[in-house]
Structure 1
Amino acid sequence: MGSATSDLPSLRTPLSDAAEAGLKIVIVGGFGVGKTTLVRSVSEIRPLNTEELMTQAGVGVDETRQVATKTTTTVAFDFGRISLNKRLVLYLFGAPGQERFWFLWDRLFSGTLGAVVLVDTRRMDESWYAIDRLEHHKTPFVVAVNRFDDEPDRYSLDEIRQALCLPAHVPLVDCDARVRSSGKGVLITLVDHLYEMAMAQEMTL
């Protein structure tokens, strides 16, 4: 699976005057899992990227197995925006995936209402830190499995849930980060999850 995106709108959409609510959403996951691709594919504006060429300084430090052909890395964050309807806007922050930039995650989580954890089943262990930090911050999240064409084994969602020790209430879905409709579906799943959690909390008051 490459990073080329499809289903991109021919024109970037200006923010509607009717927009009333803006939610900060962070997209996290391991290096090369598709965070930048997801932000690019769904954003209505030209996304802000902080990708830089990988250099010799990262040799022996950065984990590049299964993504040996990747030549760039996000060093701060990606930023995009998508309107789910006329009133609800999501501001997307794609976190850097390399371990040496993980110290930035806690700052990105500040003010975040929800998160998407992107998972590559070829390197599933790289998802644990993201899940751990989100649970530490008590940030609601969904998990999206970004499927790659060269996966040696295609694990079911039930197998992935078990491997990641995900509680039953955490949504787990398949996605293709290159496809706008697929990425948007992940974000809708997250918003639905946030709404259900808010309603459940309200019922306990």
Structure 2
Amino acid sequence: MDSRNCDTVTGPRTADLLPDTAAMAVKVVIVGGFGVGKTTMVGSVSEIRPLTTEETMTQAGVGVDDLAGIERKTSTTVAMDFGRISINAELVLYLFGTPGQERFWFLWNGLFEGALGAVVLVDTRRLEVSFEVIGRLEDRGVPFVVAVNTFPESPSYPTEELRAALDLPVEVPIVACDARSRESSRDVLLALMHHLYNLSAQPAR
């Protein structure tokens, strides 16, 4: 057999290897309702090729998935998204994006296991899809920040109005972001890290 015609098995790309200086790896979950931009955020901020489980939406979702406000959406996450970002030379975040449709929420419990914190991505056109998401995180005691994804057609509200609408405690940070932007998505993750640090610095009750 001519070896030149054989497929070769290669290892991971150099860019995908964990830096030698990495001393701590943290699991972070990106959660939110259907179509709020979770896959976009993981893909934009990940320093490695993100793993996605995007599938084309079919007639099976008609009458099941609520497309109000996102009628142009043609694909959806059916299991999870995965990416990685180095916050600095020593701290690495592993990012797990959850599926948004209620019929896939049974997968969330496994994705929440071992998570140090979470980002709740919100679309102000459809705040109601975030209520159950936030409730699940609160029930499990997972610290989180809320990131408002600034879609071009989304209405803008003062932070305190959003806090009241989402029934959030004053200590939960709310930040604006563009999930398409690496810098903006990274800033959201930094806000989560600062929030987790502040929580850890509080005296035990």
TM value normalised by structure 1? 0.91
1:27 match: secondary structure: strand
Aligned residues: 192
- Letter aligned with residue 201 of structure 2: M
CA contact (8 A) 1:173 1:186 kept: yes
- Where does the alignment leave 5 or more consecutive residues of structure 1 unmatched? 1-10
Q: Secondary structure at the match of 2:189?
A: helix
Distance 2:59 2:93 in 1: 36
Residues 1:56 and 2:59 aligned together: yes
Residue 104 of structure 2 corresponds to residue 91 of structure 1: no
Q: Is the 8 A contact 1:119 1:144 kept in 2?
A: yes
Aligned to 1:137: 140
Identical amino acids, percent of aligned pairs? 60
Q: CA deviation at 1:120?
A: 0.3
Show the counterpart of 1:42: 45
2:15 and 2:57 mapped to 1: Cα distance?
A: 30
Q: Which amino acid aligns with 2:92?
A: V
CA distance in 2, matches of 1:66, 1:167: 28
Max Rg structure: 2
Q: CA deviation at 1:67?
A: 0.8
Q: Which of 168, 173, 179 is the equivalent residue of 1:166?
A: 168
Structure 1 pair 100–22 and aligned structure 2 pair: CA distance change class (3 A)? same
Cα distance between partner residues in 1 of 2:59 and 2:106: 21
Which stretches of structure 1, 4 residues or longer, exceed 6 Å deviation after superposition? none
Residue correspondence of structure 1 range 108-127 to structure 2 within 5 A:
108-127=111-130
What's the Cα RMSD here? 1.3
CA distance in 2, matches of 1:135, 1:100: 20
Offset at residue 107 of structure 1 (A): 1.3
Which runs of 5 or more residues in structure 2 are unaligned?
Answer: 1-13
